């Protein structure tokens, strides 16, 4: 790892296909990340504070804004952190935790890299982490919208037949059917002034989804990756992203000398247009974002 001093940089996104009017949330998150970089220069702390800010915002599909499961009650969340100091932690299908990204950070200190479901929730409790916020009207409205879409003929999750959710239904309560799939996960990539890189992601998962579903966000190399040349975070439907090991694939192109903006574009272009995909990245010299259907994001550099 280079110990060359350089300007720190932050890129934060609020989810592929999510409304641009939520971009102010990304701006606040990036400002807090830069302030954290000023305070201790740790790229990972900065990425985590950015993602925590968006988990607490309530408009994004992460933390307190997480998408409800199809039963209209269950919330299962995934999160991840990774940096070039060797810290790697991920959590999947965890319930009732306010800030899953902080839990992912705590898991990096355990003997493991990933904890799921009840074990993860029990660790959060034993560390004194607060439980999730009560379900908001925003979350209920998103859920009603998904149920409406699921009842229609157009796939609520692009590329997936709506009838499969009925066929494989695994929630405790029966399916009760009455626009757009929820896909507004959050993520941050950071270049520290000391040349270290970090990434953090958090999501309520994509909607619609079956109980126990895990997407790309906690899967190393799919939803996130950090190495000595940079950090990458992906957003979009995990079932499509994992098939391309997207974050590691994009990082590989950078290793081969491709410019970051070109690598992000090439990564997004792997997918058909109807699949919303977004990528953010930082390298030693660049900080970029690219998407195919709009994505709230912001990038900031230390002066």
Instruction: Work out whether 103 is an interface residue with ligand ASP (CB under 6 A).
Output: no
3-state secondary structure 129-159: CCCCCCCCHHHHHHHHHHHHHHHCCCCCECC
Tell me the window of 127-135, 179-187, 243-251, 284-292 that interacts with ligand ASP (CB under 6 A): 179-187
| 235 lines the binding site for ligand ASP (CB under 6 A) | yes
DSSP H stretches of helix in 14-160: 23-40, 43-55, 100-107, 117-126, 137-151
What is the rounded CA–CA span in Å between residue 179 and residue 156? Answer: 8
Biggest distance spanned by C-alpha atoms of the chain: 58
Q: Is 281:230 a contact under the CB 8 Å cutoff? A: yes
Neighbours of 128 (CB within 10 A): 6
Instruction: Label residues 234-248 b or e (16+ Cβ within 10 Å = b).
Output: bbbbbbbbbebbbbb
Q: Give the residue, chosen from 203, 249, 283, 292, that forms a contact with ligand ASP under the rule CB under 6 A.
A: 203
Under the criterion CB under 6 A, does residue 237 sit at the interface with ligand ASP?
yes
CB atoms within 10 A of CB 172: 8
Binding mask 125-164 for ligand ASP (x = CB under 6 A): ----------------------------------------
State the catalytic residue, choosing from 185, 203, 235, 249: 185
Residue from 89, 208, 215, 230 that binds ligand ASP (CB under 6 A)? 215
Which residue's Cβ has the minimum distance to ligand ASP?
215
Could you say which of 184, 194, 286, 291 contacts ligand ASP (CB under 6 A)? 184
- The nearer residue to ligand ASP, 52 or 185, going by C-beta atoms, is 185
Cβ partners under 8 Å of residue 179, min gap 6: 145, 148, 149
Residue 292 engages ligand ASP in binding (rule: CB under 6 A): no
Whether the CB-CB separation of 286 and 259 falls below 8 Å is answered with: yes
Question: How many whole angstroms separate alpha carbon 79 and alpha carbon 122?
Answer: 16
**Residue 37 or 103: which CB sits closer to ligand ASP?**
103
Sheet strand arrangement including 224-227: 224-227, 230-236, 277-283, 287-291
- Smaller CB separation from ligand ASP, 84 or 185: 185
100 binds ligand ASP (CB under 6 A): no
Give me the 9-48 binding string for ligand ASP, x by CB under 6 A, dash otherwise. ------xx--------------------------------
Q: Give the nearer residue to ligand ASP in terms of CB position, either 260 or 295.
A: 295
Catalytic residue flag (residue 203): no
- Kindly tell me which of 42 and 76 has the beta carbon lying closer to ligand ASP: 76
Q: Does 206 bind ligand ASP (CB under 6 A)?
A: yes
- Is residue 183 a contact point for ligand ASP (CB under 6 A)? yes
Active site residues: 185
Which residues would be at the binding site for ligand ASP (CB under 6 A)?
A: 15-16, 61, 183-185, 203, 205-206, 215-217, 223, 235-238
């Amino acid at each position: 790892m280079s110990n060359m001093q350089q300007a720190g940089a932050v890129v934060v996104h609020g989810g592929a296909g999510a409304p641009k009017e939520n971009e102010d949330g990304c701006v606040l998150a990036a400002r807090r990340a830069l302030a954290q970089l000023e305070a201790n220069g740790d790229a990972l702390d900065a990425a985590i504070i950015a993602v925590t800010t968006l988990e607490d915002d309530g408009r994004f599909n992460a933390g307190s804004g997480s998408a409800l499961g199809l039963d209209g009650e269950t919330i299962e969340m995934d999160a991840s952190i990774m940096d070039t100091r060797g810290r790697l932690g991920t959590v999947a299908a965890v319930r009732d935790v306010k800030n899953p990204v902080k839990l992912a950070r705590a898991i990096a200190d355990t003997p493991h890299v990933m904890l799921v479901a009840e074990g993860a929730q029990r660790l959060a409790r034993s560390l004194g982490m607060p439980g999730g916020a009560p379900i908001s009207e925003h979350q209920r409205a998103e859920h009603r919208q998904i149920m409406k879409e699921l009842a229609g003929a157009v796939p609520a999750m692009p590329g997936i037949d709506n009838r499969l959710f009925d066929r494989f239904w695994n929630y405790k309560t029966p399916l009760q059917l009455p626009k757009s799939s929820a896909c507004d996960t959050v993520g941050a990539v950071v270049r520290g002034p000391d040349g270290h890189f970090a990434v953090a992601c958090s999501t309520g998962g994509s909607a619609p989804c079956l109980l126990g579903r895990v997407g790309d966000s906690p899967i190393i190399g799919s939803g996130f990756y950090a190495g000595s040349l940079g950090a990458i975070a992906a957003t979009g439907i995990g079932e499509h992203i994992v098939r391309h090991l997207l974050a590691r694939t994009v990082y590989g192109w950078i290793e081969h000398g491709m410019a970051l903006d070109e690598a992000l574009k090439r990564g997004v272009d792997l997918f058909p247009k109807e699949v919303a995909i977004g990528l953010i990245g930082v390298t030693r010299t660049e900080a970029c974002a690219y998407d195919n259907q709009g994505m709230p994001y912001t990038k900031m550099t230390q002066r």
